[in-house]
Amino acid sequence: MTIELRVLRPSEWDEWYQGLTLAFGGIPQSPEKAALIREITDFDRSLAAWDGAECVGSAGSFGMQVTVPGGGLAPMAGVTMVSVSSTHRRRGVLTSMMRRQLDDIRAWGEPLAVLTASEPVIYGRFGYGAAASLIRADIDTARVRLELPEGTESVRIRKIPAKDALAECEPVYARQVPVRPGMIVRLPGWDRLQYLDAPEDRQGTSHLQTVLAERDGRTTGYALFRIRPGWEDAGPKGRVEIQDIQADDPASYAALCRYVLSIDLTSVVSMSNRPVDDPWQSLISDIRRCNVRVQDSLHVRLVEVGAALEARTYRTPVDVVLEVADAFCPWNEGRWRLTGDAKGASCERTSDAADLSLSVRELGAVYLGGSSLAELAAAGRVRELRRGALAEASVAFGSDTAPWGPHDI
């Protein structure tokens, strides 16, 4: 079998996209969603694998910017649209696409690659580390109370029509981007994707609904959700399925939570993707009634170790020599001296003795401050070679705010 890998041509998009959707189960895609995905596809950064005239693999990426610890933005490749035909699986097609893609990303000068994985087991072998978690929850609204912060009463909640949602909500989202590591600046088109409300995304629920939080006539937050109606003999049992909640301040956030927890004919608020430190958990009277589950969210790959470690800041001063292993991208291998603090950092090659030894995957896992070096050392994945270096670096790499990606890349 000879597989040819090449950059996607516009005339090949239909077949390429059909293969991609089939690999994810083949749910029919609405014309409006397919048209938008086509519009945002970055053809120069999209790869197609061909077995003769048949497209058997896809992998795309987008040139994006991500918030890193310290609040700055770093260039990243947002990796997505990865699939291999079920007739060609486990023959190395994905590996060849990952090889080509990481070489390209390096050539484009992007120090990081970031993705959300269909299965977390897939990408570790290519040097990606699980860098952020998300929580899912089902809040039993009859069994919990909210402890509301001062100022909640001065927030007004207002429903708005779908056509106004993007214009009202995106400025709130943009203000939240610098607040949390992992938040991604939405490219044109990616914003429209959030409000598209395609039929295949509803699956038995209502249309996407939007409410705004307002204070003194200004928009200070929003909630996007769908209602899944449900009935039992004992009465209504609908669910409020949250797509996103963002707010500028605690009172606006609490007012939005109060609203979604009190919609008539519903008894559960279901959250499928929230940060692990999402504040509703501190407002609620009984966390056991919320069935909170944790799952991996963003996976990060340092494409250029030096540039990536210089692109973020460090919570406390740090001066460590890292011995990095990277079998898939050997240009990263060797010793790097990282010096930095809350203002900035430098990371250069060195021949000095190493303080910590780890693979690029562990560096990816701690990059956004979601996992700690100490936690990975306890699992035997980081080795301390100079006494004290682990504690010093572990604290420095941390983040006060948990990293999180608000939606799939």
Ligand X SMILES: CC(=O)SCCNC(=O)CCNC(=O)[C@H](O)C(C)(C)COP(=O)(O)OP(=O)(O)OC[C@H]1O[C@@H](n2cnc3c(N)ncnc32)[C@H](O)[C@@H]1OP(=O)(O)O
Catalytic residues: 123
Q: Has 87 been labeled as part of a binding site?
A: no
Q: Does 121 bind ligand X (CB under 6 A)?
A: yes
87 class by beta-carbon count within 10 Å (0-12 exposed, 13-18 middle, 19+ buried): exposed
Burial of 182 (0-12, 13-18, 19+ CB in 10 A): buried
With CB under 6 A as the contact rule, which of the stretches 92-100, 103-111, 137-145, 383-391 interacts with ligand X? 92-100
- Write out the DSSP string of 294-357: EEE-EEEEESSHHHHHHSS--SS-EEEEEEEE-SSSGGG-EEEEEEE-SS-EEEEE--SPPSEE
Among 34, 122, 193, 198, binds ligand X (CB under 6 A): 122
- Residue 394: in which H helix or E strand, if any? helix 389-396
Is 119 known to sit in a ligand binding site? yes
Selected from 93, 298, 300, 318, the binder of ligand X by CB under 6 A is 93
Contacting residue, 80, 176, 205, 350, with ligand X by CB under 6 A: 80
CB closer to ligand X out of 126 and 367: 126
- In the complex, least distance from residue 67 CB atom to ligand X, rounded to whole angstroms: 20
Q: How far is the CB of 13 from ligand X (least distance, A)?
A: 17
* Residue 189 C-beta: closest distance to ligand X, Å: 18
Quick note: the x/- pattern for ligand X over 14-33, rule CB under 6 A, is ---------xx---------
Query: Residue from 94, 172, 213, 396 that binds ligand X (CB under 6 A)?
Result: 94
Distance CA 269, CA 281 (A): 13
Residue 83 binds ligand X (CB under 6 A): yes
For tokens 């097609």, the residue is 93
The nearest distance, CB 17 to ligand X, in angstroms, is 13
Alpha helices (H) along 179-322? 190-195, 250-260, 280-283, 305-310
Compute CA distances 174 → 144, 180, 297, whole Å: 31, 11, 20
- Whether residue 73 contacts residue 57, with contact meaning beta carbons closer than 8 Å, is answered with no
Footprint on this chain of ligand X (rule: CB under 6 A):
23-24, 79-84, 89-95, 115, 117-119, 121-122, 125
Residue ranges of the annotated binding site are 82-84, 90-95, 118-119
